[in-house]
């Protein structure tokens, strides 16, 4: 089915499923099938922040005082987060927008992706401050084997859904052979790929950042890298909201509150979805081993970090209807919580290193000259 | 004497709270001494999710995190009756 940027069929938005109904035509929010997504949009907009508002200049001294193993931990985590947000800044748009059918969800996807691009820009902001030439750090992201291994796992579900959607758009429903390979481009199969992709994104938002967050906040506990920590707190707040959105989508499907076929698929793919989650957990534990391969840092070691991943994973598996898979039911890093409380993260304007604060950006002084030759 | 509500949290001994308490249920969980789970403390992350076995709560902020049947978000609600819950 060909995609149209303005589908002219008259559709009832209240009767459409989240995905694989009619393409969205009018971006209207007066009647919503799943109004939660507009609430998430409002929340995300209320969280808006800019990396430049956070002063990271004092971090440079802290960074120079770090041991080599701490530098490895810090920089590796930034590289990994850069990868995650590079993927997330584009993929929800590319994979989900062509198949979404509700205006409120379409706009949520765009808002979500946009917030990921802010995260990406913040890594450049952090790295520019630490290195006169951050180029080598970025270059390493696509050649570092520990990062690449994760990259494939993160992007493969997206890529597969995108490819099948493209084949379906061009060739229509059914099997299609391209360069000797036959693909199943039926809507049923596409929906299955969508379900798995959503579970993979959900696992990404749920656990993939937390090893890195824990290291950042462990530095902050020692009053080190506080500018960086402030940025990561803002990112963590956003990620928690993104996670809520994927949990909503998955639960709406599972409970049959959206597309009945997705309910069947959710039941059919339950084991596969669980495997996606547990493999993300295993990869994060491997990442913790890599981080600490040259030595640990004060307040953290590999074991405790792995326990934290399991603790977080248990909570997040239950949120989408899985039994908790790990024995870690208490929080091994209780100090993490205070960095994740949303009220604790406000960017104070006086801390900003630049003069244009967000709220000060609107110039209320209008002179006659601004109207040029505007005549009434 | 002011009215009291009884909170039965997990399998622990019952704790009593003031019926007019302005604290959130999450704050009462913390006061009861259990290890409370939370992140955002404002209803959007779902980290505080608990299962309500019996009783009523009232939301003071609209919860944005998905609430599965039987669940509540203690960080954005107040206690309105005796409660029994699993956190
Ligand atoms: S702590 Fe985030 S929803 Fe309650
Ligand atoms: Fe992000
Ligand atoms: Fe995200």
Q: What are phi and psi of B16, to 5 degrees?
A: -110, 140
Q: Which residues line ligand 1 (CB under 6 A)?
A: B 38-41, 43-48, 65, 73, 75
| Residue A33 · residue A341 · CB < 8 Å | no
**φ, ψ dihedrals at A196, nearest 5°:** -70, -40
- Asked if residue A67 lies in contact with residue A73, where contact means CB atoms within 8 angstroms, the answer is no
Specify the ligand 1 atom closest to the Cα of A240: 2
Residue A349: per-residue pLDDT: 46
pLDDT at A364: 43
pLDDT in tens, A69-119: 999 999 999 999 999 999 999 999 999 999 999 999 999 999 999 999 999
Residue B1 Cα, gap to closest chain A Cα (Å): 36
Helix (H, G, I), strand (E, B) or coil at A282: helix
Q: Using the predicted structure, report yes or no on whether residue A208 has a pLDDT greater than 80.
A: yes
For residues A252-256, give the mean pLDDT: 98
Query: Which band of pLDDT confidence, cut at 50, 70 and 90, is reported for residue B1?
Result: low
pLDDT in tens, A314-327: 999 999 999 999 99
- Stretch A186-194: mean pLDDT: 98
Given the CA of residue B74, which atom of ligand 1 is nearest to it? Answer: 4
Token readout for A219 is 């530095």
Query: What is the tens place of the pLDDT at every residue in B11-47?
Result: 899 999 999 999 999 999 999 999 999 999 999 999 9
Confidence of residue A362 (pLDDT cuts 50, 70, 90): very low
In the reported structure, the alpha carbon of residue A80 is separated from the centroid of ligand 2 by a whole-number distance in angstroms of: 11
Mean pLDDT of chain A: 91
Position A47 scores a pLDDT of: 96
Are A107 and A37 in contact by the 8 Å Cβ rule? The answer is yes
In the sheet that holds B4-9, the strands lie side by side as: B15-18, B4-9, B83-86, B50-54, B71-72
Q: Which two tokens stand for residue B8?
A: 């039965």
Tell which atom from ligand 1 comes closest to the C-alpha of B39.
Answer: 1
Ligand 3 centroid–CA A246 distance in Å is: 10
Q: What is the pLDDT of residues A6-41, one digit of tens each?
A: 888 888 889 999 999 999 998 999 999 999 999 999
Question: Which ligand is in closest contact with the Cα of A202?
Answer: 3
What is the pLDDT at residue A307? Answer: 98
The pLDDT score that the predictor gives to residue A343 is 79
Continuous segment of H or E residues that includes residue B79: strand B77-79
Chain B CB within 8 Å of residue A341 CB: yes
Q: Does B27 touch chain A (CB under 8 A)?
A: no
Instruction: Map residue B8 onto helix, strand or coil.
Output: strand
The whole model's pTM is what?
A: 0.92
The CA distance from A244 to A229, in Å, is 23
Give the mutation candidate from A214, A243, A307, A334 for the B interface (greatest B CB count, under 10 A).
A243
Q: How far is A213 from chain B (nearest CA, A)?
A: 13
């Amino acid at each position: 089915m060909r995609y149209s940027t303005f589908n002219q069929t008259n559709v009832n938005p209240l009767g459409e499923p989240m995905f694989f109904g009619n393409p969205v035509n009018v971006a209207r929010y007066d009647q919503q099938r799943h109004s939660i997504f507009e609430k998430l949009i409002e929340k995300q907009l209320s969280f808006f922040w800019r990396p430049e508002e956070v002063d990271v200049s004092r971090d440079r001294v802290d960074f120079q005082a770090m041991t080599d193993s701490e530098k490895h931990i810090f920089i590796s985590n930034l590289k990994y987060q850069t990868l995650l947000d590079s993927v997330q800044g584009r993929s929800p748009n590319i994979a989900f927008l062509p198949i979404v059918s509700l205006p409120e969800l379409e706009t949520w996807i765009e808002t979500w992706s946009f917030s990921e691009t802010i995260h990406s820009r913040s890594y450049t902001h952090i790295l520019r401050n630490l290195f006169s030439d951050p180029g080598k750090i970025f270059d390493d992201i696509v050649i570092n084997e520990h990062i690449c291994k994760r990259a494939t796992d993160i992007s493969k579900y997206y890529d597969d859904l995108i490819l099948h959607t493209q084949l379906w758009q061009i060739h229509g429903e059914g099997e299609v052979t391209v360069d000797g390979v036959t693909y199943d481009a039926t809507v049923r199969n596409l929906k299955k790929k969508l379900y798995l992709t959503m579970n993979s994104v959900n696992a990404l938002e749920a656990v993939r950042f937390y090893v890195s967050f824990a290291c950042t906040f462990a530095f902050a506990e020692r009053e080190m890298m506080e500018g960086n920590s402030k940025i990561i707190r803002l990112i963590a707040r956003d990620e928690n909201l993104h996670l809520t959105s994927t949990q909503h989508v998955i639960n709406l499907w599972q409970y049959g509150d959206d597309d009945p076929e997705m309910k069947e698929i959710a039941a059919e793919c339950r084991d596969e979805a669980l495997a996606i989650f547990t493999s993300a957990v295993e990869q994060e534990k491997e990442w913790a081993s890599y981080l600490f391969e040259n030595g640990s840092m004060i307040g953290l070691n590999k074991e405790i970090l792995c326990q934290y991943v399991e603790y977080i994973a248990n909570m997040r598996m239950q949120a989408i209807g899985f039994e908790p898979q790990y024995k870690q039911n208490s929080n091994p890093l209780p100090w993490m919580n205070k960095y994740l409380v949303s009220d604790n993260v406000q960017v104070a304007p006086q801390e900003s290193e630049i003069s244009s604060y967000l709220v000060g950006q609107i110039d209320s002084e209008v002179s006659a000259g601004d109207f040029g030759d505007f005549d009434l | 004497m002011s009215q009291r509500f009884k909170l039965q949290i997990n399998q622990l001994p019952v704790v009593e709270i003031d019926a007019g308490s302005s604290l959130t249920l999450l704050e009462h969980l913390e006061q009861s001494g259990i290890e409370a789970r939370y992140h955002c403390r404002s209803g959007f992350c779902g980290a505080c999710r608990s299962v309500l076995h019996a009783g009523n709560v009232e939301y003071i902020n609209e919860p944005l995190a998905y609430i599965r049947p039987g669940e509540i978000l203690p960080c954005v609600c107040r206690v309105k009756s005796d409660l029994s819950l699993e956190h």
